[in-house]
Amino acid sequence: MGLKKSSSKYVILLNSDTIVTSGWIEKMIECIEVDKKTGIVSPLSNAASWQTVPEMQENNDWKVNTLPNNINLELMSAIVKFSSLKEYPTVSFLNGFCFMIKREVINKIGIFDEETFPTGYGEENDYCIRALNTGFKLRIVDDCYILHEKAKSYAHETRKKLSKSASQLLRNKHGDEKVSKLINEIKTDSVLSRIRSRIKSVLDEFSFMNELINKKILFVLPVKGGGGGANSVVQEVQGLRRFGLEVYIANKKEYKEIFLEKYSEAKEFCIFYKNVNELIEKAKEFDCLVATVFHSVKVIERILKELPDKATAYYVQDYEPWFFPVGSVKYQEAVNSFNIIPQMKCFAKTDWICKKVEKNTCKKVFKVFPGIDNKIYNKYLNFNKSIDANQINITAMVRPSSPRRSPKETIKVLRNIKKIYKDKVNINIFGCSDEELKAYHNFLDFDFYNYGVLKREDVANLLKKSDIFIDMSTYQGFGRTGIEAMSLGCTTVLPKDCGTSEYAINNKNSILIDGGNIDEATKAVCRLIEDNKLRNKFIIEGFKTASKYTIERAVLSELLFFKKVFLGRYNKNKIGVLYTKMGGERPTGSSYNRIILPLQKLFVKTNVDWISMDYEHLFCCNYNVLIIQRNVIKDIYKAKRIVEFCRTENIKLVFEIDDLIFENNILDPYEKEAVICLLKESHLVITSTKKLAEEIKCHNCNVKVIGNYIDKEVWLYNDKLTKKSSTIKFVFFGTPSHDKDINMIKNALEKINKKYDRKIEFHHIGLKIALGKKIDIDYDVYPNFVKSIIKNFDWDFAIAPLEDKVFDNCKSDLKFLEYSMLGLPGIYSNVIPYKESIINNKEGLIVNNDDQEWIDAIEKYINSCKMRDYCKKNALTKVLNKRLMDYGVNKWIDALLKGD
């Protein structure tokens, strides 16, 4: 009935016996929009057949998992997200307990088949098959977790009978062979078993909750509130409480009314005190006291004189000495706040704050992840924002009480813009009263509207209808309003070389300026007004950026920090990993082949676990080997911190690199500096080829070569793959970076096509070239990409041209492995990656980068089925015997777990 009456872009069917978790809809939308062909998605659960985690079956039946001890539902949801690689695996069936369907699917295949499946069983499986039959993909939202009570609608025995009956009806409708094939596909899907394995590993990492759950934490926040620092504390205290911790805020009674007016939700977790003596009495029931502003450190110092055994921490919101004149009493008090309690552990949400404190006070600061309130700062609240080139709303915060925010300069920029564009722009300001604005009356001769001092919800509403947000601060510890503006589709002009670098990238999602520079800011705003394409680009990139900064992610990093405060850190026999990611925080193909798949095999063989992390987590998680991949660390400060941390904690630091990425201007100067640092300072460097090892030995003599290996489970090895047509077809697949390689033999391909006319076809996947036929396969995470390749298999042979340059000669023979697993004989350029791996005329054809040689080789395969079969057989034999991941994992074991 719901499907019949629905008209929205997405429809969610949700069982009544479910409990949803924070951000569940946003996670499902992100998954369903990963490509145009995805039609239905469904999350992970404690009880949802193939989507069940962490254990899928028990006693030959689907298991109903209970939540682990002291892990509540919200924390379990966060753990699932933490463990997720956002693979969004494509599958043949989805469990109907929670089903998100695109409107296009409903329009194309209709609603559920109520006649065939009247009892509420089997109808979702039928719907999945019908969607697959019309070209839609089904995906599991592997970063989303929803609790499913199970067996509430039907008793267990009744459920089993209905399920068996529905299964037969499904086979009657779609045929035994098809249903069996689809069941076997999901049953043998190695991605799902890896997902369960990773969740188990992260649950093990969070076993400390058994000890932490009884600890009580008090954030000392004696302020009126309304600023970014207070906002952070309030929202993150709420988050820690949602994870099951007893966390409270202590504030002065004199601020109670104004504080609760700004944060009404704080009534349930805010303790108000009249004086320090009263706070001391309240502090007796807490285990940890957390300072949040420089003068709160002295309050905690006073408490410690009476209660010396309390653990302490300092949530550093900014480099507060800069708030005051150098040498003043408050300046010195702010400087001293970092060291007056020697045992106090500091944490902050940006690298900029960490660097400033460490440089000026020699106090180490732990980095946690920043977050914004996703209930009010959420891209889906303003996702369809349209650009009006004729009427532009410009917003800025003006706070005269904070000179570092450059209030006078901000007013002057707004005045400049209004004079240039007149009625084309509307100027809005907030952050101060009309009375405070009188200080700038000489510059207020233009039309604007002052919204005054706003609550968080009101700031969000203003940013929703704004097109450009300006922040001219001389610096920002974080710059919360900038990322909040991005989350609502508002483009930004922000100060550079400060905390905004945590999220803002110049000319990608923002324009960065010198804080307080009126000319720079005016030009930046004019540029955004004039260039609609640039504003649209910033809106899209801003949405992508802001979606990473969730409360869930921020609080999880703080939870790990508090684990360190109470329990310390120890090196466990585990491997920590920071791997490279593509857009949307998903692993690159290199991450899979060089990190994820080898480590999964290593775990199976040795039971040594591994855990993927963000930079913010690596200082608190437990492991004794840390792998940093390629250019995942893009900042020299972060690189040096990692090196120092590994030395201090006696952690083996391994740097993995499979391309000569620090040559040919591939990296910007900052990334290159970080890569060179890690190359030089790591205990071990792992490369994919001997040639690459030779090129980097000048940076580190301890280099080990571990070639690429192929995972038979990912490639779903099947020697019965057959073509669908009789036309001779050959293929190349890669990324757009290989356009140059195909263009190198463009003349040869055109001559072949002209000579054989319609008897042959050249196909390519992933390229942008206007040559041959592009096969419509969206680039996806590696296992899903492989599934799509196999599904679209219709080729006789493959080609792998590669330029003969130093950069290319450092590459591996991965294409040989992939083509061979598909049963495709290949033609390869006569360059180091291939000529050192392949026996010419036996395991493939090796040719010089000469048009005629390429023409001759292609014709050789076109005209000789026998030659194709001969090379195919020998190549496959070599890969199955010598180049499977089951064999290569031994080299990874030797490198990571043995010796130095």
- What per-residue confidence (pLDDT) applies to 154? 54
- Give the CA diameter of the chain: 94
Distance CA 846, CA 835 (A): 7
Which of these, 392, 354, 357, 350, lies nearest to 371 by C-alpha position? 350
Q: Is the pLDDT of residue 397 over 70?
A: yes
- What per-residue confidence (pLDDT) applies to 759? 87
Q: Is the pLDDT of residue 900 over 70?
A: no
Distance CA 716, CA 60 (A): 24
Mean pLDDT across 633-647: 95
Do the Cβ atoms of 659 and 808 come closer than 8 Å? no
Copy the structure tokens of residue 841.
Answer: 């005329």
Distance CA 661, CA 666 (A): 6
Mean pLDDT, the chain, rounded, equals 93
- What per-residue confidence (pLDDT) applies to 724? 75
- What per-residue confidence (pLDDT) applies to 152? 55
Each residue of 857-866: pLDDT tens digit?
A: 999 999 999 9
Q: Which of 140-154, 220-234, 707-721 has the highest mean pLDDT?
A: 220-234
Each residue of 691-714: pLDDT tens digit?
A: 999 999 999 999 999 999 999 999
Whole-number Cα distances in Å, 631 to 342, 572, 678, 808: 36, 26, 10, 18
Mean pLDDT across 577-605: 93
Whole-number Cα distances in Å, 562 to 239, 246, 557, 585, 789: 14, 12, 9, 26, 46
- What per-residue confidence (pLDDT) applies to 163? 74
Q: List the 345-348 sheet strands across, edge first.
A: 270-273, 246-252, 216-220, 288-291, 311-316, 345-348, 365-367
**Residue 54, preceding bond cis, omega within 30 degrees?**
yes
Residue 11: pLDDT band (50, 70, 90) is very high
Distance CA 78, CA 202 (A): 10
Mean pLDDT across 195-207: 94
Do the Cβ atoms of 786 and 713 come closer than 8 Å? no
Q: Is the pLDDT of residue 725 over 90?
A: no
Which letter does DSSP use for residue 624 in this model? S
Which letter does DSSP use for residue 500 in this model? G
Residue 64: what residue type? V
- What per-residue confidence (pLDDT) applies to 1? 63
Distance CA 350, CA 477 (A): 7
Do the Cβ atoms of 575 and 599 come closer than 8 Å? yes
- What per-residue confidence (pLDDT) applies to 118? 77
Copy the structure tokens of residue 885.
Answer: 């991941």
Do the Cβ atoms of 610 and 201 come closer than 8 Å? yes
- What per-residue confidence (pLDDT) applies to 572? 87
DSSP 466-495: -SEEE---S--SS-HHHHHHHHTT-EEEEE
